[in-house]
Amino acid sequence: MAAGVRNMLIAFLLPLPSLLFFFTFVRPSNQDSRSTVSSWCAAHPLLVANLVFLFNVDLLFWLIGNLLSNHWLIDLYWTVIPVMLLHYYRAHPAAVADAARSAVAVALTWVWSARLTHNYLRREGWQWGKREDWRFAEMRGQYGDAWWWMSLVAVYLSQQVFLIGVCLPMYAIHSSDHPWGAWDVLATVACVAGIAIAHFADTQLHRFVATNEKLKKVGEPTVATLEEGLWRYSRHPNYFGEQLWWWGLYLFAWNVGQPWMLVGPLVNSMCLGYVTVLVERRMVKQQHRAEAYKLYQKTTSVWIPWFRKPLPQAQPTTTTN
C-alpha cells in the first residue's frame, strides 16, 4: 500500500516541470511581458516539444526508474503524453486551425487516453507501479550491469521517437486552417473505430485472464487460448485497433497537406510488428498453451480481423504389401 501511494505521488508530480514551462514560457498569463524565451518557443514548436520531452521524460523518468529499479512510468505516460502534446500544439502562439477539426481531435484524443489509461490501471489491478513491462524486465536481465545506462536509450529515447512521431498529426491539425472536408470525416470514423475495437478487445482479454485466474484458484484447468469475440478473427485485435487509431489520426495530417507525417504511424506499426513477434514467441514457449496457440496461429489472422482458415486435413497414409 505504501509503495502504491508513493508511486501515485511520483506519477502526479513528474509532469510538473512541463506544466510549469508551458504556463511560464509557452503561454504566459501576461502577454505584454512575453520574454525572449517565449518568443523563441513560439518560433520553434516542434523543437521545444522534443527538448521538453528530453529533459522531463527521458532524463527525469530515467533517473526515477533507476532509483526505483522499475521503469513503469513510461507505460502510464504513454496514455497521457499525447494529450499534453495536443494541448501544447493547440495553445501555442503560432497555432492556426479549423475549429471543427481541432475540436474533434481534442475530443478523440481525450477518449483514446481515457480508454488506454483505464485499461492500463485495470490490467495492473489498480496498483500504481505494480510491475515493469515484461520486455524491459527481459532486457534488464540481458544487459545486466549495463542496463542502468542502456535503459535511457531502450526505454526512453526510443519512446520519444515513437511518441513525437505518432503525435505529429496533432501539430499538423493546429498548423493549418484548411476547411473541414470528406477526408476529415473518414479520419474521424477510422479513429472512432480504432478506439472501439481496442476497447472491446482489451476488455475481452481482461475477462479471459480474470476467468483463468479464478479457475487456477479452485484447481480447475484453465483455457489455453482466447478465441472468442474479436479474438476469433484476429490474434491481436487490440494492436489492430491501436494502429487504426494512429493511422486515422494521420489522415487529418494528410488532408491538410502534410503527407510526410506518415513516418510516425509507419515507424510505430513496424515497432508493433516486432512486438507481435516477441509476444507470439513468448506464447509458444509456455508449455501449457504452446500446442493450442500454434493451431490458433494457423487458423487466425495476425492483426486485421478476418474469417478463420480451416485447419488442413491430415492426409490418409497408404500401405503396400
For cell 507525417, the residue is: 261
Say whether 176 sits in a helix, a strand or coil. Answer: strand
* Confidence (pLDDT) at 3: 81
For each of the chain's 321 residues, which pLDDT tens digit applies? 688 889 999 999 999 999 988 888 777 666 555 567 677 777 789 999 999 999 999 999 999 999 999 999 999 999 999 999 999 999 988 899 999 999 999 999 999 999 999 999 999 999 898 889 888 988 998 999 999 999 999 999 999 999 999 999 999 999 999 999 999 999 999 999 999 999 999 999 999 999 999 999 999 999 999 999 999 999 999 999 999 999 999 999 999 999 999 999 999 999 999 999 999 999 999 988 999 999 999 999 999 999 999 876 655 444 444
pTM of the model: 0.92
* Confidence (pLDDT) at 262: 96
Buried/exposed code over 98-122 (b: 16+ C-beta within 10 A; e: otherwise): beebbebbbebbebbbebbbebeee
* Confidence (pLDDT) at 320: 43
232: DSSP letter: G
Say whether 175 sits in a helix, a strand or coil. Answer: strand
* Confidence (pLDDT) at 204: 98
Q: What is the 3-class SS of 242-295, one letter each residue?
A: HHHHHHHHHHHHHHCCCHHHHHHHHHHHHHHHHHHHHHHHHHHHCCCCHHHHHH
Q: Please calculate the CA angle 202-81-251 and round it to the nearest 5 degrees.
A: 75
Break the chain into its structural domains and give their ranges.
1-177, 181-309
Is there a contact between 237 and 201 (Cβ–Cβ < 8 Å)? Answer: yes
* Confidence (pLDDT) at 94: 85
88 Cβ partners below 8 Å, 6+ apart? 22, 26, 45, 49
* Confidence (pLDDT) at 34: 58
One DSSP character per residue, 187-204 reads HHHHHHHHHHHHHHHHHH
* Confidence (pLDDT) at 317: 45
Residue 213 CA to residue 216 CA, distance in Å, equals 5
C-alpha cell at 123: 490490467
* Confidence (pLDDT) at 22: 86
* Confidence (pLDDT) at 32: 53
Cα 113–chain centre separation: 9
Number of Cβ within 10 Å of residue 310's Cβ equals 8
Q: Which of 245, 279, 239, 238 is nearest to 265 (CA)?
A: 245
One DSSP character per residue, 101-137 reads HHHHHHHHHHHHHHHHHHHHHHHTTT-TT----HHHH
Is there a contact between 80 and 113 (Cβ–Cβ < 8 Å)? Answer: yes
